[in-house]
Every structure is written in C-alpha cells, then in structure tokens.
Amino acid sequence: MDPMISKLGAVSVISTFLLGALVATGSETALADGYVKNHGPTMSKVRSMKSKGMYPVSMSCGADTTSKVFKPVVDMEWQKNDRDVDWAAYAYTGQLEWKPSPPGAWRKVYGKVQLAGRGGSKFYCALYHKR
C-alpha cells in the first residue's frame, strides 16, 4: 500500500472524528458565546426598564480607569415611554457590531466601541430609536 494513501486515510478519519465531536458538543452555542458576551448588569437593567414602560433617551459608555482589568461603565437616562418609542439598546463584548432586528428605519442615537483587553475583543455600546 502506498504510504501517501494511508496518511490521507488517517487524516480523513481524524477529520471525521473532530467534526462529529463538534456536532455532539453543540458547536453553534459554543461559537456564539465566543464572539458575543452581554454586559449582564446593563442588559438586566434594560429588560427591567422596558417592562416598566420606560425608554432610554441617552446613553454613555466608558471604562473604570482605576482597575487593571477592563470594567465597562454604562450610564443611561430613562423617561416614561408616553410617545410609544420603539427602541433597542446593546452593551456587550464581542467582535461584531449588531444592528436592531427587524430591519427598518432605525436611527443610531449613541454608539461607542472600546478595546476590551488584549484579545482583540471590543466592548460595543449602542442605542437605537425607530423613526
């Protein structure tokens, strides 16, 4: 048997095994978690205020400079949603910038991107209102 053919066969078997392992571990979830991680305190506040009928009129993002570790600081100003403003707010660490869904006439009220550590991830902060 030709040694090249046996090497290709071994590579094929290993590739098949690795593919099976990825499928078995739920690779979609693992990959999604690797690229986007919500900023828990901010997103919890956003959900709470949305359920109370409030909407953010302004947003600002920064980082705690007294710490050696990147710690985002997000401030939002809230108002009663009497005008029934459709809005979306995001605060997360990741590699991609997300836009509101479903697509439409969204206007970006605030947006800021900061480098979050040395790994190439960024901290995204954005507030959108629908026109």
pLDDT at 37: 72
Spatial CA neighbour of 70 closest among 30, 31, 120:
120
Angle at 36 between CA 126 and CA 92, to 5 degrees: 30
Whole-prediction pTM value?
Answer: 0.67
Residue 103 vs residues 48, 107, 110, 111: alpha-carbon distances, Å = 24, 11, 18, 18
Consecutive 10-residue runs of the chain (131 residues): their mean pLDDT? Answer: 51 38 34 57 90 94 83 92 92 85 87 82 91 72
pLDDT at 8: 46
pLDDT at 1: 55
